[in-house]
Structure 1
Amino acid sequence: MITTIFSKSKPINFLIVFSITLIANVMLHIKYPETLDNSVSLLQNIGVFLTVFLSILILNFVVTKNFLSQQNNYEILVFALFILAIPQVFLDYKIVISNCFTLLALRRIISIRSKKEIIKKLFDSGFLIGIASLFYFWAILFFPLVFIALLLFSETNPKYYLVPFIGLATTTILAISYSIIVYDDYFVALHINPTFNLDLSQYNSLQFITVITMLLSFGLWSSLFYLKDIKKKMRSYRPSYKILFIACVLASIIVLFAPKKNGSEFLFLFAPLAVIIINYIETIEEAWFREVFLGLLTIIPIVLLVL
């Protein structure tokens, strides 16, 4: 049934995903009220929700534009189900905004494949990752992805490797200017906070143990087939698949390093992992097994919400 509904890109798919995301936001307030910041207004909450949904739409654009799937909407369904499993992703608006800019940067990085306006795309990538890191410092870990992409796309022009730094420097200069004008200080707006926390005891709950087990098991299993099948893709598209896998690895490091582990940090992982999983789902020839695979991804978040 699930595969039938999402077999092709249709408006109803976006409505379903919107509803799942909305339910996740509502359930956060019902099931985990102790995690909420009472100072956050309804308008702010709506803004965070819409930004998360915008991130889902950006992922869909990246996947569709770069032919990273068979032109269905599995990736946004899996993304929304991940959010349903960890509705705490709505808790930190800074991470939500940072992830949105990171996805925009990923869009520009992957589009280098076309070999058009490369300098502009590199500048945009550095600039967007710079903005993302202003909201959440560890998003800066995605910056090396720009240079990895240049290597994967076989771009050897030395000047290309300087452009992302110019984009990042532009963000820094604008942030310093803003900081001087508003705070009368040079670095307040930069939010440079390289602290990290490797203590995973905050995840010692039924919800997080179950979800992390789900992400690891489904993610690792899908990754094996994902990496194996890359060589079957068209040669010009292979770097894009590799970039997404590396982005998933970098997002996992961010989750591990996150100084405050309340669940919101997992948002960085959801987009690239969703693409990896749907690429595996598309290789499953047995319809019943595909239904079971997607069914488990659907049932586990729902069961966690009702327990």
Structure 2
Amino acid sequence: MITSIFNKSKIINLIIVFFITLLAFVTARTNIINETITPVFVFNQLSAFFICAITILVFNFIVTKNNLTKSNSYEILLFSLFFLTLVQTTNHTNILISNFFVLLGIRRIISLRSQKNIKSKLFDAALWIAFASLFYFWAILFFIVIIFSLFFYADNSLRHWIIPSIGVATVFSIAVGVSIIMYNDYFEIFNSSRGISYDFSVYNSTNYIVAITMLISFGIWSSIFYLQNIKKQKKDLRASFKIVIITAIIAFVVVLFAPDKNGSEFLFLFAPLAIIITNYIQTIEDKWFREVFVAILFIMPFVLLML
């Protein structure tokens, strides 16, 4: 039943996805229900939800525009279900903004396959990822995706290798200028934690264990088939599919490095995992198994809400 609903791209699917996202958003804020309601509080909450919603729309655009999945709505369904699986990801605005900028950067990277406006796309990608690192330092690791894209898409022109550095330098200059104006200090704006923590004790709870196990197990299982199917893709799409798997690996490293383990760091994994798992769902020939697979992914987040 679930597969028949999301097997096509329909407006009703977006409504369901936004409802699930709203549920995740509200659930994550049950502990602040007694806070004083002020215009600033309302604005902050609406802004956070708007970022969640626009992230899903941008993600859907990236996937559809670049043919990263077939014409269905599984990827945005999974993205919203991941929000519900780890509702903490909606709580930290800095990471929401950082992830949004990373997606904009990945969008420009994948669009390199057209071989048009390569210089501007490389500059934009570096610019967005650099902005992302201002809100969450370890997002800078996604700069590695740009390096891989140079091997996949661009020629050996020295200019193509220099341009991303110019994008980063541009953001650095802007950030320093803003820091001087706002804080009367050159580097006060660069206050995102640069530490690394390997203390995973915060994940030692039933909700975290079940949620993380589900994400990683389904992700690894789907990745095996995803990697096998890359060669079956059209030649001009193979690099894009490789970019997705590289992004997933880097996102996992960001999770490992996260200085403050609170669950929100998994947000960077949502987009690549949704694409990878969707591609696996599309390869399942047995209708009953596909239905069961999707049903588990759909039901588990709601079960976690009751734990």
Q: Do they superpose with TM above 0.5?
A: yes
Look up the SS of the partner of 1:190 in the other structure.
coil
Distance in structure 2 (CA, Å) of the matches to 1:35 and 1:200: 28
Match of 2:181 in 1: 181
Alignment deviations for residues 171-208 of structure 1 (CA, whole Å, 9 cap, x no partner) = 00000011111111111112353201111100001000
CA contact (8 A) 2:135 2:192 kept: no
**TM-score, length basis structure 2:** 0.96
Match of 1:140 in 2: 140
**Distance verdict in 2 for CA 1:187–1:197, change over 3 Å:** same
Q: In the alignment, does 2:114 pair up with 1:150?
A: no
Match of 2:207 in 1: 207
Q: Partner letter of residue 94 of structure 1? A: N
**TM-score, length basis structure 1:** 0.96
Unaligned regions of 5+ residues in structure 2, if any?
none
CA contact (8 A) 1:102 1:139 kept: yes
Distance in structure 1 (CA, Å) of the matches to 2:204 and 2:73: 33
CA contact (8 A) 1:36 1:91 kept: no
Match of 1:109 in 2: 109
Distance in structure 2 (CA, Å) of the matches to 1:276 and 1:24: 22
Match of 2:225 in 1: 225
Look up the SS of the partner of 1:143 in the other structure.
helix
Look up the SS of the partner of 1:188 in the other structure.
coil
What is the total number of aligned residue pairs between the two structures? Answer: 305
Look up the SS of the partner of 1:189 in the other structure.
coil
Identity %: 50
Alignment deviations for residues 111-132 of structure 1 (CA, whole Å, 9 cap, x no partner) = 0000000000000011101100
**Distance verdict in 2 for CA 1:169–1:192, change over 3 Å:** farther
Match of 2:160 in 1: 160
**Runs of 4+ displaced beyond 6 Å:** 34-40
Match of 1:258 in 2: 258
Q: Partner letter of residue 52 of structure 2? A: V
CA contact (8 A) 1:28 1:87 kept: yes
Distance in structure 2 (CA, Å) of the matches to 1:215 and 1:166: 36
Look up the SS of the partner of 1:162 in the other structure.
helix
Look up the SS of the partner of 1:215 in the other structure.
helix
CA contact (8 A) 1:110 1:243 kept: yes
Alignment deviations for residues 82-115 of structure 1 (CA, whole Å, 9 cap, x no partner) = 1011111111100000000000000000000000
Give the drift of 1:35.
11
Match of 2:42 in 1: 42
Distance in structure 2 (CA, Å) of the matches to 1:188 and 1:261: 24
Give the drift of 1:42.
2.2
* TM-align CA RMSD: 1.6
Match of 2:271 in 1: 271
Match of 2:9 in 1: 9
Distance in structure 1 (CA, Å) of the matches to 2:115 and 2:255: 33
CA contact (8 A) 2:154 2:160 kept: no
Unaligned regions of 5+ residues in structure 1, if any?
none
Match of 1:298 in 2: 298
